Amino acid sequence: MFLSIDAGNSNIVFGFFDYKISKWSHEIRIDTRKGITSFELVKKLSLFFLENNLKPDRISQIGFSSVVPEVVSPIEDFCLTFFGIEPYMINGKSFEKLNVSTTRPNEIGTDLMANITAAYDHLKEGCIIVDFGTALTFSVVDDKGAVIGVNIVPGLKTAIKSLFTNTSKLPEVKLELPESAIGKNTVHAIQAGVLYGYAGLVKGMLQSIRAELNQDFKVIATGGLSKILTPLKDSFDEVDQNLTLKGIKLITEANQPKMA
């Protein structure tokens, strides 16, 4: 099995690809915390493996992307302790062997490059990847696999948290799309404003990118919150929750011998 580890600002995602059935078979998400320890990860993953009837020795290769420097060392220690494997840490030099390229390899996030790698490998043409994470990102790659650029906006949870944190009387609300775009009470008003507002933002950004580049790019959405905004369902050609995990696997295998 291949293990992709995606350490983001909100979650550390462990995704398991089973070569025998050629699919992503298991996934566990752990809240990202800068003080997390290797011991904590061993405890959580030990329970997960037990509950899913998995054995650590089934893991043959590990790819690792992180945008949170503080969790890198604990995760690397965890991999060595639990699996006896040193994970491949994706960095700027990792992209040299890929079919996609960027002129700023040390600036673009490894998670975004994983998205771009997986999307381009799948479509074989220029596309836009919309990632609904802690930040809402729009990554644009051309027909030859070159990264044109990236747009970054505060994510849905970030927007809700900011509103709740910086106002005295507005409550923190669940990310649920109300039936009406016009709020009938405080909770619905916040949900309608943020969620319908973000739907409009995404549509507007896609329209602006296409107009500027004069190309009707295909769009792939990913990220844990990509399915919440149902008004956007016609704006995406595909929604792939495993896109980042797939990209981490592709980048790792391009830089290390593939191990079944």
C-alpha 80/C-alpha 18 separation (Å) is: 20
C-alpha 117/C-alpha 98 separation (Å) is: 8
Number of H helices, E strands in the chain: 7, 10
Residue 237 backbone dihedrals phi, psi, to 5 degrees? -75, -30
State the DSSP string of 116-134. HHHHHHHH-S-EEEEEESS
C-alpha 15/C-alpha 244 separation (Å) is: 10
Using alpha carbons, select from 94, 93, 105, 100 the residue that is nearest to residue 116: 100
Q: Is 111 a catalytic residue?
A: yes
Give the gyration radius of the chain's Cα atoms. 19
Task: Give Cα separations from 33 to 12, 37, 72, 165, 242 (angstroms).
Answer: 9, 9, 11, 19, 22
Residue 156 near residue 190, CB atoms below 8 Å: no
Identified catalytic residue from 111, 143, 216, 240: 111
Task: Give Cα separations from 108 to 59, 105, 147, 230, 239 (angstroms).
Answer: 29, 6, 10, 29, 22
Using alpha carbons, select from 78, 113, 88 the residue that is nearest to residue 2: 88
Task: Give Cα separations from 147 to 60, 117, 120, 124, 200 (angstroms).
Answer: 31, 10, 10, 14, 25
Write out the catalytic residue numbers: 111
